[in-house]
């Protein structure tokens, strides 16, 4: 995967003919809006493709560009410019929503690296069907065991609670379970940040192997998180009733 | 989203919920999951060593109504079939029977995965004489 943007081709301004950086949104000489060319969200903001990101500066950049792309400014411009301003405004919103959120950003950046989180299970099924083998599960077996076990315990607690007496003991175990899941979610956030910096540092030195390893760990972490998130949701539900 | 009557029926009256001794050589256990929705499904089969017929099946699923219905149906279908016949069950058959909407197709995939994983586990325990058990490495019961 190309980690750093390709040695950029130049963008020639359609209006004044001066040369600009390939990902320029406006011409540096005449200030005219440049055509919209589909690009990834990092490049759209002129950022290197990294997991760690200064969201405060991203936010400032977002508001600045929102104003500059605003379709109202192009009401009297050519129809091409009107179209570009609309396209860019819309991509800007998507890019901002994705990049500002740590998890959405992680999934997005993994997607750019060719990892489709949503599809991994189906991909594994397809491979299994092709080879006639049992499917390689996308999560490690011990995690499945653990999640299954946690679900069993949770179900017992919920049934105990539902069967009349809201006894303090059951409530206590539910509270403890909630605390456990909460802290696992927190730990996973810290782990994720550590993996981000591993990957980013490796990207600086073109260390593809370390990047691959960090990516795989991020996938495992996100899979684990989605199980814990469901357990947390169930335990909160049980405590509410 | 509205569930079909058949899904609701299986959801309200799931067949064969339960557990069998996973250490028994006659029992194959498949534990599978779909992280994208957080579902986990355990499906177990009890196989007659002589006839290779699946004599009993049990499941336990934590997930949405479609996942529960899919695994419930899967246990009904594998019972009385030989392991080789059971391997012919396709997720599309489950989709059709339960009238699952596109967004719930992965639940049926999970059920098919569970059947294959359970049979894989059983085969691993019983390296069947005269019959090559395919790729023992890949059939880990996960």
Cβ atoms within 10 Å of B86's Cβ, excluding its own: 23
Given a contact cutoff of 8 angstroms between Cβ atoms, the answer to whether A154 and A235 are in contact is yes
Same domain, A144 and A233: yes
Collapsed DSSP state (helix, strand, coil) of residue A159: helix
Per-chain mean pLDDT for chain B: 86
Confidence (pLDDT) at A7: 53
Q: Say if residue B139's pLDDT is above 50.
A: no
Q: Could you say which of A117, A132, A230 has the minimum Cβ distance to residue B38?
A: A230
Query: Residue A65 has what pLDDT?
Result: 96
- Residue A147 contacts B where some CB pair is shorter than 8 Å: yes
Any idea how long chain A is? 241
Contacts of B135 in chain A (CB under 8 A): 131, 133
Give the pLDDT confidence score for residue A136 in this predicted structure.
64
* Residue A125: inside a domain: no
Contact between chains at A148 and B106 (C-beta distance less than 8 A): no
In the listed set A76, A100, A124, which residue is the last one of a domain according to the structure? A100
Same domain assignment for residues A63 and A153:
no
Nearest to A171 by CA among A185, A155, A158: A158
**Within 13 Å of residue A28, how many CA atoms lie on the same side as its CB?**
10
Name the domain boundary from A100, A125, A148: A100
Residue B60 pLDDT more than 50?
Answer: yes
Q: What would the pLDDT profile of A37-86 be if each residue is shown by its tens digit? A: 889 999 999 999 999 999 999 999 999 999 999 999 999 999 999 999 99
Q: What is the mean pLDDT of residues B130-138?
A: 48
- Are B115 and B83 spatial neighbours (Cβ–Cβ below 8 Å)? no
- Interatomic CA distance for residues A240 and B49, integer angstroms: 49
The predicted model gives B39-61 an average pLDDT of 95
- A78: domain CATH number? 1.10.287.110
- Kindly state the average pLDDT of the residues B78-103: 92
- Tell if the CB–CB gap between A148 and B31 is shorter than 8 Å: yes
Give the model confidence (pLDDT) of A118-168 as tens digits: 666 667 767 766 766 666 666 778 888 888 988 888 888 888 877 766 678
pLDDT of residue A6: 52
A150 with A228, same domain? Answer: yes
pTM: 0.74
Q: Is the CB of B112 less than 8 angstroms away from the CB of A125?
A: yes
In chain B, the residue whose alpha carbon lies closest to the alpha carbon of A136 is B138
Spell out which residues of chain A touch residue B62, defining contact as CB-CB under 8 Å: 148, 151, 155
A145 to chain B, closest Cα gap in Å: 8
pLDDT bin (cut points 50, 70, 90) of residue B137 is very low
Question: Do the chains contact at A137 and B37, CB–CB below 8 Å?
Answer: no
Mean predicted lDDT score pLDDT of chain A: 87
Domain residue limits at A54: 11-100
* Average pLDDT rounded to a whole number, residues B71-92: 94
Indicate yes or no: CB of B138 within 8 angstroms of CB of A133.
yes
How many domains does chain A contain in total? Answer: 2
**What's the CA gap between B58 and B46, in Å, rounded?**
9
Share of chain A above pLDDT 90, in %: 55
* Chain A CB contacts of B36 below 8 Å: 117-118, 120-121, 226
User: What is the per-residue pLDDT for A2?
Assistant: 43
Looking at the DSSP bridge assignments, the partners of residue B141 are none
Rounded Cα gap, residues B94 and B99, in angstroms: 8
Higher pLDDT, B102 or B72: B72
Alpha-carbon distance of B119 to A55, in angstroms, equals 50
Give the residue from A100, A120, A153 where a domain finishes. A100
All residues of chain A having their beta carbon less than 8 Å from the beta carbon of residue B102 are none
Q: By percentage, how much of chain B surpasses pLDDT 90? A: 61
The answer to whether the CB of A239 falls within 8 A of the CB of A174 is yes
Select which of B68, B89, B107, B111 is catalytic: B107
Q: CA of A178: how far to CAs of A160, A232, A240, B7, B63, in Å? A: 16, 6, 12, 31, 19
Quote the pLDDT of residue B123: 93
Tally Cβ neighbours within 10 Å of residue B40.
29
Range with lowest mean pLDDT among A26-30, A82-86, B136-140: B136-140
Query: What average pLDDT score do residues B117-131 get?
Result: 81
Q: What is the pLDDT of residues B24-33, one digit of tens each?
A: 999 999 999 8
- Integer Cα distance of B121 and B27 in angstroms: 8
- Is B64 an annotated catalytic residue? no
Kindly state whether residues A143 and A93 are assigned to the same domain.
Answer: no
- Cα three-residue angle A116-B115-A114, rounded to 5 degrees: 10
Give the integer Cα–Cα distance in Å for A228 and A146: 10
pLDDT at residue A129, rounded to an integer: 67
| Together in a domain, A160 and A206 | yes
Kindly report, residue by residue over A78-108, the tens digit of the pLDDT: 999 999 999 999 999 999 999 999 999 999 9
Maximum average pLDDT range among A168-172, B6-10, B46-50: B46-50
CB-CB under 8 Å, B37 with A125: no
Question: Hey, where are the domains in chain B?
Answer: 5-125
CATH 3.40.50.360 fits domain B5-125: no
The answer to whether A139 contacts chain B (CB < 8 Å) is yes
Does one domain contain both A152 and A95? no
């Amino acid at each position: 995967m190309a980690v750093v943007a390709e040695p950029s081709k130049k963008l020639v301004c359609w209006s004044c003919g001066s040369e600009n950086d390939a990902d320029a949104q406006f011409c540096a000489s005449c200030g005219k809006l440049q055509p919209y060319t589909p690009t990834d969200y990092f490049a759209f903001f002129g950022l290197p493709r990294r997991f760690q990101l200064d969201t405060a500066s991203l936010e400032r950049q977002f508001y600045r560009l929102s104003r500059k792309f605003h379709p109202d400014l192009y009401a009297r411009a050519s129809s091409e410019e009107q179209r570009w301003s609309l396209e860019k405004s819309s991509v800007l919103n998507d890019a901002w929503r994705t990049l500002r959120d740590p998890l959405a950003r992680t999934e997005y950046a993994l997607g750019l690296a060719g990892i489709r989180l949503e599809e991994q299970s189906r991909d594994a099924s397809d491979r299994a069907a092709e080879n006639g083998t049992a499917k390689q599960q996308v999560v490690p077996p011990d995690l499945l065991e653990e999640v299954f076990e946690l679900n069993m315990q949770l179900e017992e607690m919920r049934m105990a609670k539902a069967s009349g007496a809201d006894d303090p003991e059951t409530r206590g175990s539910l509270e403890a379970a909630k605390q456990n899941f909460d802290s696992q979610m927190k730990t996973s956030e810290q782990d994720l940040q550590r993996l981000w910096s591993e990957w980013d540092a490796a990207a600086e030195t073109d260390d593809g192997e370390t990047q691959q390893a960090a990516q795989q760990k991020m996938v495992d972490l996100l899979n684990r998180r989605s199980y814990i998130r469901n357990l947390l949701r169930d335990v909160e539900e049980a405590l509410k009733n | 989203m509205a569930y079909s009557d058949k899904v609701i029926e299986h959801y309200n009256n799931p067949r064969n919920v339960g557990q069998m001794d996973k250490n028994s050589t006659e029992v194959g256990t498949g534990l599978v999951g779909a992280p994208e929705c957080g579902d986990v499904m355990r499906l177990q089969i009890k196989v007659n060593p002589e006839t290779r017929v699946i004599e009993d099946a049990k499941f336990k699923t934590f997930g949405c109504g479609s996942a529960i219905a899919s695994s419930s149906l899967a246990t009904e279908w594998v019972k009385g079939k030989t392991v080789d016949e059971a391997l012919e069950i396709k997720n599309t058959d489950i989709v059709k029977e339960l009238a699952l909407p596109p967004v719930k197709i992965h639940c049926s995939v999970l059920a098919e995965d569970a059947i294959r994983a359970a049979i894989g586990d059983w085969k691993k325990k019983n390296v069947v004489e005269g019959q090559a058990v395919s790729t023992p490495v890949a059939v880990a019961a996960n």
